Amino acid sequence: MEYNELMRGFAAKFGVADIETDNGATALEIDGMSVGFLHAPEADELMVVVEIGFPPPDANGPFGSIMLKANYLYNGTNGAVICQNPETGAYAVMRSYPLAQLDVEAFAQAVEALVNTAERWKDVISLARAVEDEKDEKDASASEDGDRFAGGLGGFMQV
């Protein structure tokens, strides 16, 4: 199916009457998620990108490892890849679809599955951020306790 025709039919399914597709890129909000569409005419593919948020501060630690493992053989990504926008630093879930194999209904189902995958990874990022925040609070609290006892523990024996 041709890119402009596919995108107009897809947008209509979501109640969007007028969508700009002439420049090969557009975005829609689906289930509260910003979904970008980029036509790659040289490959006759349509790339779909769903931003899932900014990485937690310890993105190179266990969290980063979890995301890399999810990309391996698409184990945790339902055929998509988790990537980072080099311009904004935001993480995204991205998948490419060959236009020749798509119709409006198949594409709508594929995008819905991608958005569902993105929602799960957005939740993972939120959870990782919450864990980091809790760790930071504990570290700050321990630091304050350490300051309180900087002069020693009085009558207690220090080990």
Determine, yes or no, domain membership for 149. Answer: no
Per-position DSSP letters for 48-114, written without gaps between them: EEEEEEPPPTTTTTHHHHHHHHHHGGGTTTTT-EEEE-TTT--EEEEEEEEGGG--HHHHHHHHHHH
* Domain extent for 25: 3-134
Give how many domains the chain has, as a whole number.
1
Percent of residues, the chain, with pLDDT higher than 90: 52
What is the band of 130 on the pLDDT scale with cuts at 50, 70, 90?
confident
Determine, yes or no, domain membership for 140. Answer: no
Determine, yes or no, domain membership for 119. Answer: yes
Amino acid at the residue 40 = A
Mean pLDDT computed over every residue of the chain: 84
Top pLDDT among 113 and 14 is at 113
> What is residue 4's three-state secondary structure?
helix
Q: Give the CATH number, domain containing residue 76.
A: 3.30.1460.10
Percent of residues, the chain, with pLDDT higher than 70: 84
What is the band of 157 on the pLDDT scale with cuts at 50, 70, 90?
very low
Q: Is residue 22 pLDDT above 80, yes or no?
A: no
> What is the spatial distance between Cα 148 and Cα 159, in angstroms, rounded to a whole number?
17
Q: What is the pLDDT of residues 89-122, one digit of tens each?
A: 999 999 999 999 999 999 999 999 999 999 999 9
Sign of the torsion formed by the C-alpha atoms of 30, 35, 39 and 40: negative
pLDDT average, residue stretch 135-139: 67
